[in-house]
Amino acid sequence: MAKDSWARLEQAEDVSPDLEHLRTSAMNNLGFLHYMGWGTAQDRAQAIELWRSAFARGHEEAAYHLCHTYGAEKEPEFDAKLAVGFCREALRRYAQLKEQDEGSEQVLSRVRWYLGRLQAQ
């Protein structure tokens, strides 16, 4: 199962620098599974911790997930100030991607939507 492979990679202590991007992606993916409760118990605090670790390592999708988590008013983690920072950083990181695809365009659209709502408050 992918979740188990991602968990092993995320926990590995000795990851070569050329594979660190895979570890960071594993953190982001595990965060999503924990947030949604897919294939594991739902644990939003764990999801946020994983996304923050991936974010600190430069992962653009983790920035988006944190933008959403803190920017959705209906979510218990709502924090407009934190959300604006993560949303702005998500925009910056996605703009630096060498290749944009339909998925990244959808993420950018959603991030802009969050920013518009948060800045209007």
pLDDT in tens, 52-105: 999 999 999 999 999 999 999 998 999 999 999 999 999 999 999 988 888 899
- pLDDT of 3 > 80? The answer is no
In this predicted structure, what is the pLDDT of residue 77? 94
pLDDT in tens, 19-45: 888 889 999 999 999 999 999 999 999
Whether the CA torsion 33, 34, 35, 37 is positive or negative: it is: positive
**How many Å is the Cα radius of gyration of the chain?**
14
DSSP 8-state secondary structure symbol assigned to residue 8: H
Q: Which is it for the CA torsion 1, 60, 62, 76, positive or negative?
A: negative
Give domain limits for the chain. Answer: 1-43, 59-121
